[in-house]
Structure 1
């Protein structure tokens, strides 16, 4: 992603598109449409200034899916990133943010994952504010790492949150359906590569953050399917959020047949491309030729 610096002038609607670094004091009061925030803040990695989220009805702050650092130099402010008095906030959902001073006060529904409890090392909160650890289907939310070329993605049983990319690679995936049956969130991207699978379903998956722990010059597709022997179908029936990306889905597998349901689901988050053709979501205008996407496909085919 090409770096782009932007100056925040007080309104998110007027903010330039595709900013990676913003300078200014970002104040969220809930008056901005979340669709605007998801669009304008999708690629933001750094904020040079203070951030305050106060009095909103947001349930998550996942419009900051790629935000890595916030540095507030205003000496009159005690925290870099303040989250306070948000009655509906359930999760922070900022997978790669590391901030020196985080304030969490009076957010009655907020829970913290185990990974967040480790990552946020300096949290300021009121005497009546306690961390609630996020709960899953059988107690504490089950958080897992996935490993590249690992057997069944390197996953344990019962995973609900993947705190890395999800790798489904190679031919040792006999139990992958069982491993994925409870997964609801993926912090990174999804890679389905060089498998002998015919199809795959992640039945409960809702959110794919496509976050980048380090800066990257080029962003991979959010879901990349390539090099598989006879892969024909991917089902993600409950997906309701993916971080905005140039390509939400891409495959170069000639066996794959794009179905309309997946096209409709993923198109709001980026282009959905199968073998050089960008699918058209139902009731959407016809897609124009997309030279950049074709160039990306050529790059992956050359690997």
Structure 2
């Protein structure tokens, strides 16, 4: 672990000079919602004002403007949209609605295409879920959302995986094969691939489609790793953090040369979507193209795909 800290420290110095604050965390920024997302400041962490989503706003605008929002001091309504997920709120932790005329703090209603909520760390006192015919709820969500109001005709639908109910798992730092059981499909925190005991890690990760937190590949003896079905990495944190780690962090591996995530289609916006200081690693153009839309991709001091000013 001393080697890990040393190599990250050296790269941190470079990153700070090249791209500004990378690990220093997202500075708190209070913003007022004035009714339009295009008029909302960038990099807000706290928004004051009630927010109504009606489906007319460009989804790319929502991902860009809401990526770092952790708190909303106001009421939220998502009504009549064609969104499949609300993962533009990947880092949202709390909603405080003081409007006493409303029965819920966060209302999600009449969204015909909505399949998943996609807000891994949100805790809200009163959540309304009505007339969203395709929506399912994971086991983790059902324990986190303790006060859900539904319409009389709304059924609770558990999210399904490849063989029944979606299999949710937690990963542990320095665990054998990430501390994972077989057949995991959703990692409900960070994914840790650490140390030398990863003989079966490829099998353990073969069905994983989502990671709520970040991906760490550290101090391994692996030469490569493929997570064939991974689609979404939310980079979410349940509590405020003083750091903003890269979404995928590859560090202090003996001979790691390649990571492959061919199905990736969403990562929460970050200063760095990928970081490695491993001398053995060779960045391939496919991974660069896949990850660059979500943040800088840095391999051994070289950024591919976008500049730090983008």
**Range class of TM-score, shorter chain:** over 0.9
| Pairs within 5 Å for 1:113-124 | 113-124=138-149
**Matched length:** 285
Distance 1:92 1:119 in 2: 12
Distance 1:65 1:289, change over 3 A: closer
Query: What is the CA deviation profile of residues 110-164 of structure 1, one whole-angstrom value per residue up to 9, with x for unaligned ones?
Result: 0000000000000011111111000000000000000000000000100000001
Whether 1:134 and 2:159 are equivalent positions in the alignment is: yes
**Shift of residue 279, structure 1, vs aligned partner:** 1.1
The answer as to 2:135 corresponding to 1:110 is yes
| Structure 1 length-normalised TM | 0.93
Quote how far apart the aligned CAs of 1:289 are.
8.6
Picking from 238, 257, 279, the partner of 2:282 is 257
Give yes or no for the alignment of 1:63 onto 2:65: no
Stretches of structure 1 that go unaligned for 5 or more consecutive residues are 282-286, 291-303
Q: Does 1:201 align with 2:215?
A: no
For 2:244 and 2:275, how far apart are their aligned partners in 1? 12
Q: In the alignment, is the contact (CA less than 8 A) between 2:296 and 2:308 conserved in 1?
A: no
By relative contact order (CA 8 Å, sep 6+), the higher-ranking structure is 2
Q: Does 1:246 align with 2:279?
A: no
TM-score normalised to structure 2 length:
0.91
3-state SS of paired residue (1:104): strand
Residue 182 of structure 1 corresponds to: 207
1:86 aligns with 2:111: yes
3-state SS in 1 of match to 2:290: helix
Question: In 2, Cα distance between the equivalents of 1:169 and 1:279?
Answer: 26
Q: Secondary structure at the match of 2:69?
A: coil
Which 4+ stretches in 1 moved above 4 angstroms? none
Taking the aligned partners of 2:156 and 2:212, their CA distance within structure 1 comes to 21
Are 2:181 and 1:156 equivalent residues in the alignment?
A: yes
- What 5-or-longer segments of structure 2 have no aligned partner? 1-25
